[in-house]
Structures are given as C-alpha cells and as structure tokens.
Structure 1
Amino acid sequence: MTTPKTGCPLEKLNDLTPLSATTTCPDPAAAYQRLWTDWGGPVAAVELEPGIPAWLVMGYRELRAVVRNEQHYSRNSKNWRLLADGHIGADSGLAPIMFPRDNAYFSDGATHRRLRAPLVDGLARISEHRVARDVGETCDRLIDRLPADGQLDLVAQYAAQVPMLTVAGLFGIAPDLGDRLQTCVIALFGSGEDSAERFHEMETILTGVINEHHTAPAEDLTTAFLHHPCHRDDGEVLASMLLMLGAGWETLQVWIAQTLRIMLTDPRFDGKVRGGHLGIDDALDHVLWADPPMANQPTRWALTDTVVGGQRIARGDALILGLAAANNDRWAGAHDRHDPGNRAHLAFGVGPHACPAQRTSRIIARTAVETILHRLPDVRLAVPATEIPLHPSPWTRGPARLPVTATRALGQATPVPSPRSTEAPPNR
C-alpha cells in the first residue's frame, strides 16, 4: 500500500487498492475501514482499472458536501483531466459508465435541470397501481416458468428478470429485446473488456425502438420522451433511455437479490420479513443502509484545486462516491437505522442528482419480494451463505447467483399490493 502523499498528483500514486476490492470481498465495511486507516481519513485514492486512479469519498459529511456543491464538483466527465489528456482509451471498460453523455447524469446546472425534466415528468405519468399490477403479473409468469424440480437461482431466474421486463415494458420494448438489453447492462456495470462493445449494442437496440415509435407512437415512456419539449433531438432521447434502463435495471435487481439474500441468511429478518408488509419494507431499508445496491457511485470531477477529507484534490481529479462506506460512517450513526421508515441513508443519492425513481423502484422491489414469499413459502438457501458468489463489479455489490430449493405454489394468485410508498418524494 502506498503511503499517502498529500499534494502528490493523483496519477503519480502507485500500488493503489482496486475499487472492486470493496465490492467483491466478504466484508466491505472492513475494506472501507482499511482504506480509511491507510489514508488517514475519509478520502482515499483507489484504482478504477490498471493505471487509472480516483479518489473514493467515504465520509457521510464529506460526501454530502461534495454532491451539494455544483460550483466546485461537476458531473460532466469532460472535466476529467485523465480523459482530456488522452490517458484513457475509447475502448476502456470505464467508457460506458464514465465517459460524457448528453443526459441528466452527466450534466450540471440548467442543462441538468432540462434533461432531468423528461425523467421526472415521465415517471409522474406512470400509474403506481398499474406498476404494482404489472410487476405482480410479471413475477407470477416468471415463477410459473421455474423448473419443476425446485432447484432455482433467484438471481438469474427472478431478481434479474423482474426489473428489466418491468422497465423495458414501461418504454414499450418487447421482452426479447429486454433480454438482450439485460446482457448489455450486465457488461456495462462490470466495466470489463466487453463493456464498450455491449454498450454500442445497447445503443443500436434502443435506436431501433426510437425509430419504431416515430412511426407508431404508444402510451409509454419512449413516446413521452420523444414528445417532451426538453429533449432537443433523438440523441438526447437515446441518452435518457440508456440512463433509465441501465441505472434502473442494475440497482433494482441488486436491491431485490440482496433483500432475498438477507431473508434467507439472516435470522433477524427471516420471521419478520415473512410476517407481513411492514417487514418487507424493513428488509428493503436494511439493504439500503447496510449494503446499498450502488456501493460506489461514479462520479464527480473537481473544477478547482480543493481539499476534501484532508486530501488535496487537484482540478480534474475524479471523485467516486462511496455510498456504502458513508452509510456506515459514524456520522451517519446519528440517524437510527432501525427506526421504521428511516430514509437518511444515501442509497438513492442526495442533492440535485438524487434518484427521481425512488417511489417506482420501491413498488417494483417490494412487489418482487412479496410475490416470492407468497408463491414460494418454503424457499430455502441451497448452499452455505458463505458460498454465495458476488457479481464482479466495482460499482454495485450483490449476489451473482442465489441457489435455492423451493416448491412452486401453483394456482395461487398474487394479490396486487397497494402502491402506498413510504419513500420520500423524488428530489426534483
């Protein structure tokens, strides 16, 4: 481990801990604590991919201060010094998730507000009752197709399927294309060698969807995006669709899978979760606090030389938001995580870029967990908890597989849950 050198240019630091070491280890809290100790505070240098460093912000107060200060920290990766200087190739695995795009995620100020408006307005048009009904029906169909021998993988055969089928359906995308998009998004968040290729495939698929909706408009989000006055052209529509489909699928599938994992492995939740509606929300909130789906969120770029958490940050440096680390920071402890309905966690972000789909996401995740409990009441983990593999991503942390045994409860209609949401209204 390199001894921290205050004021040393970020790209001059060697032997840095890979960011993925915080998401693929058995004890992420210990991994973040080691970084905190090694770097003497809540900001540590990490490696995104070989030769590409960034700062990881792990402190609750420091992270909130960074994301609320658009004057000093930008979401636009055109401000990334290493990218501008040509240190990162176009084929980098970081390209799909960190290179600049014409969407709300990679913009600031007035441009961000303009590009965020179609997302907020589109989500506001969605009927929560319809979402709950459609998700319930999707879950039932998936369970009806499960192997009759009861040997199941609740990630591949369920948790990964529900979000993509649901979100793709909101855009009027056919299920077969949803399957292809899911493969692309997995590669995107893996930030591996095939990320750039799969991202281009995703762009091609969605361009076809946009062209079809030009000739055949429908009551869906694609048509709403095409007709929204804040979208200036199809390129911006495509960028907004990529954002919602990518972020919506990845975080939702991890949230569902993590909740099912604790249900099956943590005795504190087993009986409580199975006991009713309130228990489901408790389990969902536990995951958002203790092991949020987006453990490390990209990115802010420093617009000026500054100091964060005792580290000198140079203009153009990348700052990764350690949401999982910040949730477990002692300053977050001022909020009682065990209070029902407590939402002081940072899992959905904070500030101008906070997730606008918090209500819809909770409906989808809650319905998915409820349906499994109703239809598979005897579901049990098929392997020791320590043998559950993790998805290899530096950004998200969740089970790659969740092998279980269960007897499918056929013929039992799943009740449509109330769209009552205890999540705070989206940050507009």
Structure 2
Amino acid sequence: MALTDIVSSPDPHAVYRQLRERYGPVAPVELEPGLPAWLVLGYHELLAVTRQEQLFSRDPRNWHALREGRLAADSPLMPMMRYHPVCYHADGAEHRRMRVPFDEGVGRLNERAARRLIEARCHALVAKFSEAGHADLVNEYAAQVPMMALAGLFGVGQEQSEELVRTVFGVMGSGPDSEEAYQTQHRIIGEMIARPRSAPDEDLTWTFAHHPNLVTEEERYAAMHLTLIAGNMPAISWIAQTLRMMITDPRFAARLRGGRLGVDDALDEALWREPPLNAMPARYVLHDIELGGQVLRRGDCLIMGIGAANDDPEIRPDEGEDWGNRAHLAFSAGPHRCPAQLPARLIARTAVRTVLNLLPDLELTVPVTDLVPSPSPWTRVPARLPVSFTPRRLGDGPQSWATDPVG
C-alpha cells in the first residue's frame, strides 16, 4: 500500500489498525511504485528504533535504494530523502556537532518577547478577514503564522516569508513540484545569507552562516533548509489540526469553551490524534535484524509511523479522556528528539488562543467529510478549513510587520 494513500486517507487510524492486524507492529508499504519500505506502527518498536543509532541510522547513504540507483534522480521524494549534510541525516558525534547551532538558536529565544510578537502578528492576520465574516483558517491563518513568528529571528520580510511558506508546502508534499520548491528555497536562503544586517548577533541566519560547527557552505545551507521546513510545516499542521478538532468535535469544543479544558490540553490531544508529522522519514537498517516479527535486511528503509504509534492499543487501549498525557511521540524520541518543542508550543498556543479570543463564534461552513488533507506521505494538514463568524472590525493590531528579533 502506498504511504501517501495511507497518510492522506479519510481515516488513517483505521488503516493503521488493519495493517497492524495483518502484519503486526511493522508493516510493508510503498514509498512510490516499486520502492518498498517498512512502516513502524508499534509504540515500543518506534522507541526502540529511534533510540538505537548503532542499529538504525538516519543517514540515507545507508539506504540500498539510493546506493543502487533505484530512486530516480527526479523522484519527488528526493528533496526529503536524499542525503543532506545536516544533523537530521547524521548519527553519533557528527549529529551532535551539527545540532549545536539549533540548540543554541532555541536557547536564545526570549519567550515573553516572542509571545508579544506572535500575538501581534496573529491579530494582524485575523484583522485581514475579520470584517468579511468568513475565512479559510488554513491558508489565511495557520499556514502564515509560523513563518511570521520566525521572521524576526531570521531577518525575513513579509514578501519573502510568504514565498518561503509556499516552498515548505512544496517540499513536504513530495509531489511533482517538490524539487522546484526546494531549489526556490535554496535561492531564498542565499539571499537571506547575503543580506546586510545591522545586528548580526541577534540574527539566526547570521548564526547558521558563521557558526564554527558548520564547516562547509553545504552544511550551512542544509541547516537553514532544515530549520525552515521543520520550523514551519509541523507548526502549521499543529495549529490547523487543533482548530479543526475544536470546531468540528462537539465533545471537545464543549469542554474547551466551557472552561474545563485549557488550550494546552487541546494542543496535546491534537498531538495524539493528528501529530504534525504523521509519518517521519526515515531510519536505515545497519544490520540484519528482527523487529516486530519482521525480518529486516541491511539497507532497508524504516518510516516512523508516529500517528500509528500514538494509536497503538498497547499504550492507548481506548480513546479515554487522558488530558495532560504527553507520552505521545509527536516530537519523536532518542538523540533526534525535536529540540524546538517549547518554541513550537508557544507558536501554536498563541495562534490558537488569539483566533479563538478574537472570533469566539467560529462555525464550519462545509461538511466535516469535505476536510481532506493536502496530499503528502508525511503530514495531514487540512487543505482548507472554511469557517464563518460574526463580522467585526479589529484594526491592524498593536504592531505592524517588522523584522525585529525576538532573541
């Protein structure tokens, strides 16, 4: 079964259950016709894979399909799955070396200043459509917020930010335009690095361009690519899926609006139900081994089925209301666990809270069955989330677009 068909299906959890019943916690899938991989469905199996670098590598150069030329050079999977000299595709000491700039960038975040900036920019986005009484909360809101939040750190203006958002969707979609989107993003990164800046110490672009742990131009560009993709698409999905749940699930919405459930609880439930990366590429088997009843061969590709693992009946035997439980694997695990959980939560929490406060009577304007995800083997971002509400004038908010840093 094709991975994109699984992730983009109306009910992927039903598919995961079927695969689990037939194959167990590790199931065969196709990344594209004739290109097999294993989808890790089990919670404990996924933890085992992510925690054992000596058995399961992040480096795609260990993938036999790449070594043997079975992945075409123009495959839409290439931008996500070919090797890049970046911490995401490294193990051990090399991973730790290249991860330092990311950890330092996250550590510089001034949470209070960032929250004010994000609130102002979310307010400005809502103000653009608040008088119309209707909007698409994915394309007009959720898709714009993360890059707006990152713009101050990167020194990016509004027009460039909007172009970068389009490239992120293109790369993560792994569709026909993925390589074009990647190359466009590469051009923009070059422009970002070349731009004069007045306060380089407060600019994350400058940090990546001159950090001593990134020793080649390829490493610097790859670090920027990773930050722009990982800093945007997961947050877009998190915001969109939380808003979708709150608007379409009466039980969930009633608890939230009745004051018995906070925004953080809603965000956590979204991470369980619809993690930002439903499936995550990839690990590569270094030695023949058995996992979940399947015999894996050296060079095999493993896809981390985060959405499936979160729904593993061994750890979630039912869909009880376990608000506050953060044992999900939405941020992965092991040495490659996401370093930006706090900034991501800050962005998502602020975005959700702001639009709910400004537009408290949001209602979906299409049947729930019309809310389909944009095609992708990795994410389940709704293609649109059309809503109506009482028209109101909000003004432009307390702050216009600026590239002021929040570090």
TM-score (norm 2): 0.93
Matching of residue 32 in structure 1 with residue 39 in structure 2: no
Distance 1:218 1:203 in 2: 23
Distance 2:318 2:127 in 1: 41
Q: Which residue of 2 aligns with 1:11?
A: none
Quick one: which of 314, 339, 347 aligns to 1:356? 339
Q: Using a 3 Å threshold, how does the CA distance of structure 1 residues 415 and 362 change in structure 2: closer, same or farther?
A: farther
Q: Which residue of 1 aligns with 2:156?
A: 173
Distance 1:408 1:300 in 2: 49
Distance 2:309 2:67 in 1: 30
Residues 16-66 of structure 1: CA deviation (Å, up to 9, x unaligned)? x00112222121111011112232x11111011122111000001111001
Q: Which residue of 2 aligns with 1:54?
A: 37
Q: CA deviation at 1:234?
A: 3.1
Q: CA deviation at 1:389?
A: 2.1
The answer to whether the 8 A contact 1:45-1:55 is kept is yes
Q: Which residue of 2 aligns with 1:424?
A: none
Q: Which residue of 1 aligns with 2:402?
A: none
Matching of residue 319 in structure 1 with residue 302 in structure 2: yes
Distance 1:368 1:276 in 2: 18
Residues 340-389 of structure 1: CA deviation (Å, up to 9, x unaligned)? 43210000000000000000000100000001111111111111111112
Distance 1:262 1:191 in 2: 26
Give matches, 1:35-114, under 5 Å: 35-39=19-23, 41-114=24-97
Matching of residue 231 in structure 1 with residue 214 in structure 2: yes
Three-state SS of the structure 2 residue aligned to 1:56 is strand
Q: Which residue of 2 aligns with 1:159?
A: 142
Q: Counterpart of 2:16 in structure 1: which amino acid?
A: Y
Task: Tell me the C-alpha RMSD between the 2 structures.
Answer: 2.1
Q: Using a 3 Å threshold, how does the CA distance of structure 1 residues 138 and 173 change in structure 2: closer, same or farther?
A: same
Give matches, 1:112-123, under 5 Å: 112-123=95-106
Q: Which residue of 2 aligns with 1:9?
A: none
Three-state SS of the structure 2 residue aligned to 1:301 is strand
Distance 1:411 1:388 in 2: 28
Q: CA deviation at 1:74?
A: 0.3
Q: CA deviation at 1:275?
A: 4.5
Which ranges in structure 2 are unaligned for 5 or more consecutive residues?
400-407
Q: Using a 3 Å threshold, how does the CA distance of structure 1 residues 415 and 60 change in structure 2: closer, same or farther?
A: farther
Matching of residue 274 in structure 1 with residue 257 in structure 2: yes
- Deviation larger for 163-172 or 197-206: 163-172
Q: Using a 3 Å threshold, how does the CA distance of structure 1 residues 49 and 372 change in structure 2: closer, same or farther?
A: same
Q: Using a 3 Å threshold, how does the CA distance of structure 1 residues 275 and 124 change in structure 2: closer, same or farther?
A: farther
Q: Which residue of 2 aligns with 1:245?
A: 228
Three-state SS of the structure 2 residue aligned to 1:145 is helix
The answer to whether the 8 A contact 1:375-1:412 is kept is no
Distance 1:197 1:52 in 2: 22
Residues 89-119 of structure 1: CA deviation (Å, up to 9, x unaligned)? 2211111111111111000000100111100
Q: Counterpart of 1:389 in structure 2: which amino acid?
A: V
Q: Using a 3 Å threshold, how does the CA distance of structure 1 residues 335 and 199 change in structure 2: closer, same or farther?
A: same
The answer to whether the 8 A contact 1:374-1:414 is kept is no
Task: Using the aligned pairs only, state the percent identity.
Answer: 48
Three-state SS of the structure 1 residue aligned to 2:189 is helix
Q: CA deviation at 1:144?
A: 1.1
Give the aligned length: 399
Three-state SS of the structure 1 residue aligned to 2:202 is coil
Q: Which residue of 2 aligns with 1:21?
A: 5
Distance 1:337 1:219 in 2: 45
Q: Using a 3 Å threshold, how does the CA distance of structure 1 residues 28 and 53 change in structure 2: closer, same or farther?
A: same
Three-state SS of the structure 1 residue aligned to 2:195 is helix
Three-state SS of the structure 1 residue aligned to 2:75 is coil
- Deviation larger for 400-409 or 127-136: 400-409
Which ranges in structure 1 are unaligned for 5 or more consecutive residues?
1-16, 417-428
Distance 2:150 2:259 in 1: 26
Distance 2:287 2:308 in 1: 25
Residues 289-308 of structure 1: CA deviation (Å, up to 9, x unaligned)? 12212100000000111111
Q: CA deviation at 1:166?
A: 1.4
Distance 2:267 2:84 in 1: 31
Q: Counterpart of 2:216 in structure 1: which amino acid?
A: D
Three-state SS of the structure 1 residue aligned to 2:381 is coil
Residues 319-352 of structure 1: CA deviation (Å, up to 9, x unaligned)? 0000010111122228997444321000000000
Q: CA deviation at 1:148?
A: 2.9
The answer to whether the 8 A contact 1:71-1:303 is kept is yes
Distance 2:300 2:198 in 1: 44
Three-state SS of the structure 2 residue aligned to 1:206 is helix
- Deviation larger for 43-52 or 406-415: 406-415
Three-state SS of the structure 2 residue aligned to 1:236 is helix
Distance 1:289 1:133 in 2: 28
Q: Counterpart of 2:219 in structure 1: which amino acid?
A: E
Three-state SS of the structure 1 residue aligned to 2:129 is coil
Quick one: which of 165, 180, 196 aligns to 1:197? 180
Higher relative contact order (CA 8 A, sep 6+): 2
Q: Counterpart of 2:240 in structure 1: which amino acid?
A: A
Distance 2:31 2:396 in 1: 46
Three-state SS of the structure 2 residue aligned to 1:45 is strand
Give matches, 1:319-338, under 5 Å: 319-333=302-316, 338=321
Q: Which residue of 2 aligns with 1:399?
A: 382
Q: Using a 3 Å threshold, how does the CA distance of structure 1 residues 234 and 79 change in structure 2: closer, same or farther?
A: same
Q: Counterpart of 2:52 in structure 1: which amino acid?
A: N
Q: CA deviation at 1:214?
A: 7.6
Distance 1:186 1:262 in 2: 22
